[in-house]
A and B are shown apart, each in its own frame.
Chain A
């Protein structure tokens, strides 16, 4: 998985948990909370959906790694790539 693919997976999750937001112009280096209507419960949603959809655990001490799209990609891409291929 590339970092761009990882960002898209994060945006797919955000699209579901913040369905009123326009995600066409999310700046990758700006905090998600500073450009979208996201609160702490929404961030828990992102963590929950990573767990449900992709089996990825983000411990509370790492939540700050999800601040921007870029930091999400930096943090999550290796974790996605560490998931054993199915089949």
Chain B
């Protein structure tokens, strides 16, 4: 039996350079990055992508205090996505809605805060918060969304390092096709900038970006790139089976055409272009598309010296010189690496290409690394092309998890 067609009907997001899809897209086309310096505990000023949405738009002050930053981000994105979908939420059976949220990590922020807090009391654990466990359980961001919206269907997170945003969408697609739910809120979130550990970890790995000008710090494919800019963010979608979406007259952003998830099984942190190639090829096969039929490839590239070259190696092998209608871009050059939100945010930034036939560029490339000189790479200025019918979105993560998601223009 042919699997049900699944479509994207709503988008809610917060990124360091925009709190809605129109604002985010406008800044991607206008070359507006969103990186700033923040004070990180024990480390001093660090470059980071910070989201400036108003949590009180959808939460009471007490909910913000009791919950987590990831929860606030998830609630904001979920409610924005629902509003964008124009679905009559009140009429949806709440036990038939699934919430599937990708996370790179969760709980580090809250644990660090508590350890810091009890350090002021001689590390006496009687000062440890009774909120620690509900804040740090891995399902926290999804659970906070279910509480906020009264959704009683399955609500959980998907831990998949920096591939997690894509996995949220993939998992929701699978659950809709299995008939487990009738409506899904899915994507990814990250609160990572509020933990010093991730900064210190990347710094110890010599993978933390530095630059005098914050907006120029995240520079994938540039010869002078020197690492990752860590960001927070979130992007959740409403996904529905085509039949139901059409029945309610939903606006359709695009259709999930194909996906694949695999594992390197080779290293804790180093990517593996062989497995990346296999992942992309398997996603193409599922979508029944050839490489030449992909019009836009959004790269995962995080601006580490080695990682960018390896991904380019994988993309070159598949798309090479024989795909003249394939254009390639990168979104981290604007917003840094939003970790669990990255894949979902980066897809969102490209979805409007179906309508405006424009590929947002990769910015901050002053001197293109010859090893990253892919044909079709769109640098520094947006490029209007004939038509965008297909978007291929790569997201890879530590411990060697790879994901490729392909979305196509909706054609009834």
- A, B in one complex: yes
**Known contacts A19-B61, A19-B65, A41-B131; can you find 5 more A-B pairs with CB under 8 A?**
A17-B65, A18-B62, A37-B62, A48-B130, A51-B127
User: Quick check: A17 and B130 within 8 Å, CB to CB?
Assistant: no
Q: Closest approach, in angstroms, between the C-beta of B122 and any C-beta of chain A?
A: 12
Partner of B62, one of A17, A44, A48, A51: A17
CB closest chain-A residue, reference B127: A52
CB closest chain-A residue, reference B66: A41
| Residues of B close to A51: CB separation below 8 A | 126-127
Q: Closest approach, in angstroms, between the C-beta of A37 and any C-beta of chain B?
A: 8
Number of interface residues of A (CB under 8 A): 11
Whether, in the assembled complex, B268 has its beta carbon less than 8 Å from a beta carbon of chain A, the answer is no
User: Quick check: B121 and A52 within 8 Å, CB to CB?
Assistant: yes
A78 vs B265: C-alpha distance in the bound complex, in angstroms? 64
Whether, in the assembled complex, A25 has its beta carbon less than 8 Å from a beta carbon of chain B, the answer is no
A41 vs B129: C-alpha distance in the bound complex, in angstroms? 10
A44 vs B66: C-alpha distance in the bound complex, in angstroms? 12
User: Quick check: B60 and A20 within 8 Å, CB to CB?
Assistant: yes
CB closest chain-B residue, reference A19: B61
User: Quick check: B127 and A20 within 8 Å, CB to CB?
Assistant: no
CB closest chain-B residue, reference A44: B130
Q: Which residues of chain A in 21-70 are interfacial with respect to chain B, using CB atoms and an 8 Å cutoff?
A: 37, 41, 44-45, 48, 51-52
User: Quick check: A20 and B66 within 8 Å, CB to CB?
Assistant: no
| Residues of A close to B129: CB separation below 8 A | 48
A87 vs B66: C-alpha distance in the bound complex, in angstroms? 35
Q: Closest approach, in angstroms, between the C-beta of B121 and any C-beta of chain A?
A: 7
CB closest chain-B residue, reference A38: B62
| Residues of B close to A45: CB separation below 8 A | 130
Q: Closest approach, in angstroms, between the C-beta of A60 and any C-beta of chain B?
A: 12
| Residues of B close to A18: CB separation below 8 A | 62
Q: Closest approach, in angstroms, between the C-beta of A43 and any C-beta of chain B?
A: 10
Partner of B130, one of A19, A20, A41, A52: A41
A73 vs B129: C-alpha distance in the bound complex, in angstroms? 25
A17 vs B127: C-alpha distance in the bound complex, in angstroms? 16
A44 vs B127: C-alpha distance in the bound complex, in angstroms? 11
Q: Can you list 8 A-B pairs with a CB-CB distance of less than 8 A? A: A17-B62, A17-B65, A20-B61, A44-B130, A48-B130, A51-B126, A52-B121, A52-B127
| 1/0 contact string of B51-79 vs chain A (CB within 8 Å) | 00000000011100110000000000000
User: Quick check: B60 and A48 within 8 Å, CB to CB?
Assistant: no
CB closest chain-B residue, reference A55: B121
| Residues of A close to B60: CB separation below 8 A | 20
A51 vs B129: C-alpha distance in the bound complex, in angstroms? 12
| Residues of A close to B62: CB separation below 8 A | 17-20, 37
CB closest chain-A residue, reference B61: A19
A36 vs B50: C-alpha distance in the bound complex, in angstroms? 34
| Residues of B close to A48: CB separation below 8 A | 127, 129-130
Q: Closest approach, in angstroms, between the C-beta of B213 and any C-beta of chain A?
A: 38
A48 vs B132: C-alpha distance in the bound complex, in angstroms? 13
A18 vs B63: C-alpha distance in the bound complex, in angstroms? 9
A18 vs B64: C-alpha distance in the bound complex, in angstroms? 11
CB closest chain-B residue, reference A18: B62
A51 vs B62: C-alpha distance in the bound complex, in angstroms? 21
| Residues of A close to B61: CB separation below 8 A | 19-20
A48 vs B118: C-alpha distance in the bound complex, in angstroms? 12
Q: Closest approach, in angstroms, between the C-beta of A79 and any C-beta of chain B?
A: 17
A49 vs B23: C-alpha distance in the bound complex, in angstroms? 41
| Residues of B close to A52: CB separation below 8 A | 121, 127
Q: Closest approach, in angstroms, between the C-beta of B75 and any C-beta of chain A?
A: 16
Q: Closest approach, in angstroms, between the C-beta of B95 and any C-beta of chain A?
A: 24
A44 vs B129: C-alpha distance in the bound complex, in angstroms? 9
Q: Which residues of chain B in 117-139 are interfacial with respect to chain A, using CB atoms and an 8 Å cutoff?
A: 121, 126-127, 129-131
CB closest chain-B residue, reference A21: B62
Residue from B60, B61, B62 having most chain A Cβ neighbours under 10 A: B62
| Residues of B close to A20: CB separation below 8 A | 60-62
Q: Closest approach, in angstroms, between the C-beta of A63 and any C-beta of chain B?
A: 13
A11 vs B61: C-alpha distance in the bound complex, in angstroms? 17
A44 vs B131: C-alpha distance in the bound complex, in angstroms? 10
CB closest chain-A residue, reference B124: A51
CB closest chain-A residue, reference B126: A51
